[in-house]
Structure 1
Amino acid sequence: MCLNLWINSLFACFCFLSSFFFRVSVVKCSDSSIVSTFDLPKTALLELSPLNNVLVTWQPYKTKDCPQGEANLQIWQLHSGQLMKALYQKKVESWCPCWSDDETICVRSVNNELHFYENNDLNTIANKLHMQKVSDFALSPGAQPCKVAVYVPGSKGAPAFVRLYQYPSLGGTSAALANKSFFKADKVCMQWNKKASAVLVTASTEVDKTGASYYGEQTLHYLGANGETALVQLAKNGPIYDVAWSPNSSEFCVVYGFMPAKATIFNLKCDPVFDFGTGPRNASYYSPQGHILVLAGFGNLRGQMEVWDVKKYKQVSKPQAPDSTHFSWCPDGEHVVTATCSPRLRVSNGYKIWHYTGSVLHKWEVAANSELWEVQWQPFPEGTFPERPIKYQAAPSDLGSTQAPPTQAYRPPALRHLPATASSKLHEEELPQNMRPGVPGEKSKSALKNQKKREAKKAARQETRSEPSSEHAHSRPPATDSQSEPSSGKCLHDWFECLKEQQASGKVLQKNQLDKIQKEEQLLKELEELQI
């Protein structure tokens, strides 16, 4: 059982604490030996490369000692302490270069370009991607070939867009693997799946012009490395709180909508697979093995967690961790940690280790006048912990469990002596898809809506093919059942009634069909005279 907690990655927390003493020290956690020490008294941000070969430091561009500005982004070779490159980086946004997992490629945003470096040779630009007003990018995870998603904001009525490229083919629109344009985007968040086969783009605006939401507007877009793109259709209006890829890269979970929020799992065709109904939630977390999903409500919510078996779509437990500011899975897929950290909350700082069945296994609180800033699990190589069968009985613990108590809707004092009715509920609550009345496993509302649209289009096509030509309607009435042998006048009358029903339903008729409806009495009279 893996219950050891490490702070930050491997060295970063030690670097941050040491910077208060006017230097940055890199300490090896296994034996507490000092690897390197840097005299950087103004360091504000630190970052380590994926394989811990490079340390990146950032300090404010302008200071009292240097009002004209200085090379404030410094890249160091970690073990030797040698300065590899000193660069100018005025803005904090996207301050740090981004590496591929094997550190063979490094990318940095410079003005309207992306500069690519290879094998940590930061003195030679190996490749460039030049696009007008590139605002953000996201490098794909995993092995080579490496892919990059780039975002360009809209301007002067033109839409914003995201494009996918595969390194080193970076030459314009023709070389793009996928391209998705959209409006209503002040900023985006781009998330690759684990296999680097698709990326999800959450586009946000700062202000909702309709006035419906304090959080602005959000839309979710899908781009596949195979060129497929789509807008993810969400079944409830409101903000998008969280988007999480499953580790198997074949599905993703979205938490969205005005409170109580909905949570839905979608497949790679952006079709809903399972609807979890509504609840007090704003975050979702897949286990490292992808077999368990936690839906949680942290921040301004009560800290309720819903633990789900995503293969059987069965709820395992419903613990509650109030005042939590941090949640993360242990690499073994059996345990989670919740923590209350500063500066988000400066009181009751501490952490709890849970089993996913809801049992609290360990609890720790900081001493008085102390603060907890960050908690992370010790990292392990992928595949160290295989998937284990899911248990539904609470794991034994001396600290017990904290299952969320059943909640009731608020009722004003004047109504509390009366029996509760459905109309007295503050919010309309939806049960998970497989717990609703009706046939088990019934389709969600959005799936049924899409199915009805497809059926309506199919019926309209069949009706168009079977509809008689309006030009010859008066001379060749529609065919009828030979057994009933109705008269030709009756068939023509039925055809006129069909046109009237289509017109009443909102269908746009052709001009000659409208003329025939106006001349209905005349045509029927002519037909009757011909029959006589």
Structure 2
Amino acid sequence: MAPPTPLLAVRGSEGLYMVNGPPSFTESTAFQRDSGKNCKAVAFSKDGSLFAWCNGEKVNVVNVTRAELLHSFDLPKTVCLEFSPKNNVLATWQAYANTIANKLHLQKVSDFVLSPGAQPTKVAVYVPGSKGAPSFVRLYQYPNFGGPQSALANKSFFKADKVTMLWNKKATAVLVVASTEVDKSGASYYGEQTLHYVGASGESAVVQLPKNGPIYDVAWSPNSVEFCAVYGFMPAKATVFNLKCDPVFDFGTGPRNAAYYSPHGHILVLAGFGNLRGQMEVWDVKNYKLISKPVASDSTFFAWCPDGEHIVTATCAPRLRVSNGYKIWHYTGSVLHSYEVPSDEEMWQVFWQPFLDGVFPERAVKYQAVPSDLPGAEPRPAQAYRPPALRNKPVTTSKLHEDEPPQNMKPQLGGSDKPFSKTALKNQRKHEAKKAAKQEAKADAHQGPAQVKTPQNALQNTVPAMTTGDPEVDKKIKNLKKKLKAIEQLKEQAAAGKQLEKNQVEKIQKEAALLKELEDLELGV
């Protein structure tokens, strides 16, 4: 039986309607267009068979497989809709009126993220640091919310005004991007970012990014054992890491700020949207070979089709109010369908009909562009401006920076045709760490004596001394912080591959209890 054709839902001033996916791209008869301009809440069920929307008058539910209206509810003020995993409940949000089933007692929680997938559900919570104490992220499994001792994992760090937490598909680990509003070194207008890995089995690590600068995007592979980070001052680097936070492949540098894995995880798109020109690099990540380099200028949205073969890019309002429309591409770079909204209309949202895993089989990667009746979207390169006095003279080229090529980061065979030993790899890491420390020291010397920085592998920031007025309490707080600092160093050593002694492992296991004791002491301040 052939796989179904995914639908593309489109919402804008022209109303709400659906378009058949490849190869027809015609308006779907499975959904009758709602021409109202007040369609604000829309949602597909998890398997894509049901669709609900609120048009400012009613909430309607249709079966798009049978093209049948199932229900209509008098809920005109609904602003959010969500189907249950088994499609038998539709949650509508107007104002909070639910009964609390369970509660996590943790003071000062500022953010949380629920894990995807089947139960048991896990939750990652973030508590920002205060009064010199570090920020931390803890993982819990519902409904075991008994306190720090019941946490699955804990990761503390400094330099964090806010965090972004991202679960992998199997809910076995969380990536945490910690951000500060201001970079105290003055190197970046956008503040500072660090990337942390927290495993549901208790392990954690700092992901070492070899280029300074912002972290633009982090994406988990659907296989849940690799992730890609896009980071560094432009031109940005992109690197794939494994669950040990070791680099697997480096894509070099380029104009990119986003990463998108295909639903099957076999293709990765690196893209430069927003203030960049829309360049995309499509990579086969099983063989790490470049497939195509299409350009989607002025795009504000990107999404993979559930079939793993096609993508949609769109220009939507209010981000951009002119030239609204969307394009459907094959990943080999061919534009298969293009729609431009009339100049007096706007498009607000496009999104694919979802499907359950396994509906679409993974297909072999193609490198030859598929046929298309539409012209390619690659623009002609702009010619650099040359003043009149130089226009009849030979062109000389100069670069502001040297581009870095892609490279495999897995251990390579040496001159003796034998893999590097663990000792050789360890020495190589030490050498790289010393080199980075020298460069950092050199940079600090240029900044002058007024700025002092702690080593990167020590605690992430210098903390001002805090006094409570009680010398005994101050002494306890100081000792607790000293122990937590030692634990952090042990965890980083373990992440780097060092085999810990039994007593060192026992120290790490006491981290949650020490954090709770520190929290209780400081709350009493």
Equivalent residue number for residue 163 of structure 1: 138
- Secondary structure in 1 aligned to 2:270? strand
Distance 1:268 1:355 in 2: 31
The equivalent position to 2:165 in structure 1, one of 173, 181, 190, is 190
Equivalent residue number for residue 236 of structure 2: 261
Query: What's the CA shift for 1:366?
Result: 1.6
Equivalent residue number for residue 250 of structure 1: 225
Whether the 8 Å CA contact 1:25–1:38 is kept in 2: the answer is no
Query: What's the CA shift for 1:406?
Result: 6.2
Whether the 8 Å CA contact 1:5–1:378 is kept in 2: the answer is yes
Distance 2:400 2:276 in 1: 16
Distance 1:275 1:39 in 2: 51
* TM-score normalised by length of structure 1: 0.66
Equivalent residue number for residue 407 of structure 2: 433
The equivalent position to 2:177 in structure 1, one of 181, 198, 202, is 202
Query: What's the CA shift for 1:209?
Result: 2.2
Equivalent residue number for residue 279 of structure 1: 254
Equivalent residue number for residue 53 of structure 2: 15
Query: What's the CA shift for 1:141?
Result: 1.4
The 1:320/1:251 distance shift into structure 2, 3 A limit, reads: same
The equivalent position to 2:274 in structure 1, one of 279, 284, 299, is 299
- Secondary structure in 1 aligned to 2:212? coil
Q: CA RMSD in A?
A: 3.1
2:42 matched to 1:4?
A: no
Whether the 8 Å CA contact 2:212–2:232 is kept in 1: the answer is yes
Distance 1:452 1:157 in 2: 35
Letter in structure 2 aligned against 1:4:
L
- Secondary structure in 2 aligned to 1:252? strand
Equivalent residue number for residue 309 of structure 1: 284
Equivalent residue number for residue 31 of structure 1: 67
Distance 2:427 2:308 in 1: 37
Distance 1:131 1:270 in 2: 29
Distance 1:456 1:346 in 2: 48
- Secondary structure in 2 aligned to 1:254? strand
Equivalent residue number for residue 472 of structure 1: none
The 1:14/1:49 distance shift into structure 2, 3 A limit, reads: closer
Equivalent residue number for residue 357 of structure 1: 332
Query: What's the CA shift for 1:25?
Result: 4.1
Equivalent residue number for residue 135 of structure 1: 110
Letter in structure 1 aligned against 2:8:
L
Instruction: List aligned pairs for 1:73-472, cutoff 5 A.
Output: 73=96, 86=97, 123=99, 125=101, 127-403=102-378, 417=393, 419-421=395-397, 424-433=398-407, 451-454=427-430
Distance 2:288 2:383 in 1: 25
- Secondary structure in 2 aligned to 1:382? coil
- Secondary structure in 2 aligned to 1:130? coil
The 1:54/1:336 distance shift into structure 2, 3 A limit, reads: same
Question: After TM superposition, where is structure 1 displaced by more than 6 Å over at least 4 residues in a row?
Answer: 11-14, 406-416
Deviations 1:32-72 (A, max 9, x none): 5261222444x5555444445132324xxxxxxxxxxxxx3
Q: What is the aligned-residue identity percentage?
A: 68
Equivalent residue number for residue 469 of structure 1: none
Whether the 8 Å CA contact 1:341–1:374 is kept in 2: the answer is yes
Equivalent residue number for residue 437 of structure 2: none
Distance 1:350 1:283 in 2: 21
Distance 1:456 1:310 in 2: 26
Query: What's the CA shift for 1:156?
Result: 0.8
Gaps of 5+ in 2: 11-41, 434-525
Higher relative CO (Cα under 8 Å, sequence separation at least 6) belongs to 2
Query: What's the CA shift for 1:169?
Result: 2.2
Alignment coverage as a number of residue pairs:
383
Equivalent residue number for residue 448 of structure 2: none
Gaps of 5+ in 1: 59-71, 74-85, 88-122, 458-532
Distance 2:389 2:237 in 1: 31
2:30 matched to 1:54?
A: no
Query: What's the CA shift for 1:414?
Result: 7.5
